Structure 1
């Protein structure tokens, strides 16, 4: 489905916005100027079609202009045939009317004439019949259709003028005209400057370009056919293979009616403006699309991200923290489940997490705490920086250099150490409260110790009675031994066995908590990577894709 001019302008503008700072600055400036020009033209009279006659010095452009309008309005000459200022003829309206006046002001054309619509007749302000050239007189007597209302016909300055100002005026109007009629002569129709500077940039504008071989009366019919064939071949090489080619003579009037009919058809269909600027927008969009390059061929996102996270984990000291979590969990379990008489000795061993300033604490405090982890060594820092660069290169492989450099510039490698340290500091590593089974085992230990103490006191009491030579009390026997002995020995042995089982369970739990802490730390490191590395790369990739997509849409791909 073909886009409207407004839709094409919107797509191209979106592509430029997405590629701002990445696309070549001259291309962006040139394309934004085109977009502004199209929008300006869209706001002017849609009832008028601007047809410009462009050509080199001596091509007979002004004579052909006079033959088309049937009046000697454009000055011609034989010694120095040159046009320095543009001339406009408005057909079917006055140049002072709002629509034509605004359009001509935008074109910056000051010399203006009015011409009635219909059969070619003398224009207002034209010369007398006797003073007209033979070609003009023949045009006035012609029976073909005249120029239609709504035509704004321009005679441009010579595009090869030695005066720079004249060339600038011609180029400005060439960029703003709806239909371009390029007038060439038999001597300079193959001029390299004409084709390379003017026609080749119009590739794809076949519908709005007409090539007129003027002064055809100087050639034989055979030579005219040969030159026209050569001109068509050159036009095809310029990308204008469907451009219409006409042989004419302003002196004899040959071909003038055919050219007038082509102009009249374009004006009556009122499609020249849309086709001209649509072609301009498509060509500019194709340039933007080419500047975006091919779609990046990034490797698997997950594999690349895993390599990056591994390097950042190492730089953040995650292995050291995981080891500290495991040892701290073992220490805490021993302090809660060990045999009470010796349990207090574990408290003299330093807590690995506390030494790193990573002991369990409230979240608000963790947000403002820095760790005491040793800084990453040169090898770790180099590995992290290399991983970041490699990930960026892999994500944008195949992208233009400007996009890759812009992506690298957005990566905050210098901020990674502090961000990683903060991420580790605020990650909950161990629960603040004791595990439920620690409390249960601790209570059992105290019960067993109480039994052992009770047995010891019982035995001590029996020994005291024996020392005082008092009658021995009746001591119950539990199994193979007296009850006090069972309480003492059983309490101690059971306490030691429970402590051993608690230590074993504590180590198993410590490994499980270390694995959980590693997962949380990796998530924290991944968040840092997402914020400082992955998100900027994703934004650049998305901008590149948006630029390519919108440019392709504007180019009609």
Structure 2
């Protein structure tokens, strides 16, 4: 389904906004000029269709103009150039009325005439040819342009300006210069895609024989196809004899009555510049950004942030803390002599507020790690923008603040929760049990010491209860020590298993922190750039669609 002119305008405008600073400056300037011209024309009279007669010197353009309107309004003659200023004929309305006045002021046409709609020519001429269909359509604004090959630069400039603003373009050629390279390369080739609003008129056809007219028309159609104007209408006419003039007038009249030429002309202008934008944007992204795996990028940033070192420190610190709570109390102090690995890195568990202002003592990333991180960022950027023009890739790289990555990663590691501040509940339970066992062993030792003192003093031995195969104090002493050592061993094994689990959990949290930094400094800016690229191309493709 074809877009309305306002929809095509909005789509191209969105494409240019998305490609701001990425698309070539001349292309953007040309596109903005087209947008402004289309908006200006859309705000003017929709009841009038501007038909411009353009041609080279000597093509008989002004004579054909007079023949179409049935009056000698345009000056003709042998002196060249004949037409220096454009001439307008407004059919069916006073050219001084508000609608045509604003339109002609925008066209910058000062010479204006008004003709009534209906039969062409004086009454006596119309009466003499009652079957004639020579009618001027109401709403026609017919322009006679200066010669496009005039030796006067100012004349050519006026012609080119009106060629860009007319709704329907009638190019008048003659049998001698219809294949002129300057006409085709400078004017017709740039109009490729404007088939619906381009008419090629072979004037002065009376100078050719009937067979020659057909041959020239066939060759003119071939040239039009090579210019990209496959559907352009080709008409043979003679302003001197009037042959073909009625056919051309009817063709123009139908275009005026349908009131589609304005939308067709400026829709084609928008499609042409939109196609240029699409080509500049390169191939469609096709969801590449979603398909690009960020794991390799995060892996490289983890390595640069020292995450493996931190994870190892978490495991060792968790083992140390578990031993400090579950080990045999008489030798626990030995474990405290070893420094806490996390504390050495300024990563000991503490308040979250303190983590926001604390830097770690991790060794800075080495050259290999930094190179790996930078390479990973660049590779990820290139993968996400695969197929994009260099301007988009360079713009994306300029948005990525890789210089801020080291500090941001260090801060992310510092604020990551690695270990709980308080001991785990089962550490406390095992610790309490250890103290009970130690108390039992101390009780048994003191009991045995008391018995030994009594024996040394040769006092009567107290009655000592027997628990199983040994006296109670011996059971308390030996059992308390052995049980304490056994509990310490089991606690150490459980502590190591728990330390591994805590190290894995810390690794997940550290990776999430690193991923947040990657998202903020790399992935989000890159996504904005790839989204802008996709939007630019998609909107331009929409504006370029028929």
> How high is the TM-score relative to the length of structure 2?
0.96
Aligned length: 545
Per-residue deviation, residues 297-329 of structure 1 (Å, max 9, x unmatched) = 787967731211111111000010001001100
Q: What aligned pairs does 1:261-272 form with structure 2 within 5 A after superposition?
A: 261-272=250-261
Over 4 Å off, 4+ runs: 137-142, 297-303
- SS of 2:361's partner is coil
- SS of 2:293's partner is helix
* Change in 2 beyond 3 A, CA 1:353/1:397: same
Determine the C-alpha separation between the residues in 1 that align with 2:82 and 2:518.
67
Report the equivalent of 1:115: 115
Per-residue deviation, residues 460-500 of structure 1 (Å, max 9, x unmatched) = 22222223332211111112221111111111111111111
Determine the C-alpha separation between the residues in 2 that align with 1:141 and 1:50.
29
Q: What aligned pairs does 1:246-325 form with structure 2 within 5 A after superposition?
A: 246-296=235-285, 304-325=293-314
Report the equivalent of 2:397: 408
Which is further off, 294-303 or 177-186?
294-303
Does residue 218 of structure 2 align to residue 243 of structure 1? no
Report the equivalent of 1:451: 440
Does residue 382 of structure 2 align to residue 382 of structure 1? no
Report the equivalent of 2:38: 38
Per-residue deviation, residues 65-112 of structure 1 (Å, max 9, x unmatched) = 111112222122203243221111111111110000010111111111
Of 500, 503, 507, 1:514 maps to 503
Report the equivalent of 2:217: 228
Does residue 484 of structure 2 align to residue 495 of structure 1? yes
Residue 145 (structure 1) shift: 2.7
Report the equivalent of 1:442: 431
Contact 1:91 1:116 (8 Å CA) reproduced: yes
Of 334, 337, 343, 2:326 maps to 337
> How high is the TM-score relative to the length of structure 1?
0.94
Contact 1:120 1:140 (8 Å CA) reproduced: no
Residue 400 (structure 1) shift: 1.9
Report the equivalent of 2:9: 9
- SS of 1:186's partner is coil
* Change in 2 beyond 3 A, CA 1:303/1:234: closer
Determine the C-alpha separation between the residues in 1 that align with 2:115 and 2:501.
94
Residue 367 (structure 1) shift: 1.6
Determine the C-alpha separation between the residues in 2 that align with 1:80 and 1:257.
27
- SS of 1:414's partner is helix
Contact 1:298 1:396 (8 Å CA) reproduced: no
Per-residue deviation, residues 244-291 of structure 1 (Å, max 9, x unmatched) = 111112222222111111111111111111111122222222222122
Which structure 1 segments of 5+ residues have no match?
124-128, 130-136
- SS of 1:246's partner is strand
Which structure 2 segments of 5+ residues have no match?
none
Does residue 168 of structure 2 align to residue 179 of structure 1? yes
Per-residue deviation, residues 29-84 of structure 1 (Å, max 9, x unmatched) = 21121122111111111110100001111211111111111222212220324322
* Change in 2 beyond 3 A, CA 1:355/1:139: farther
CA RMSD across the alignment: 2.0
* Change in 2 beyond 3 A, CA 1:182/1:139: farther
Q: What aligned pairs does 1:361-376 form with structure 2 within 5 A after superposition?
A: 361-376=350-365
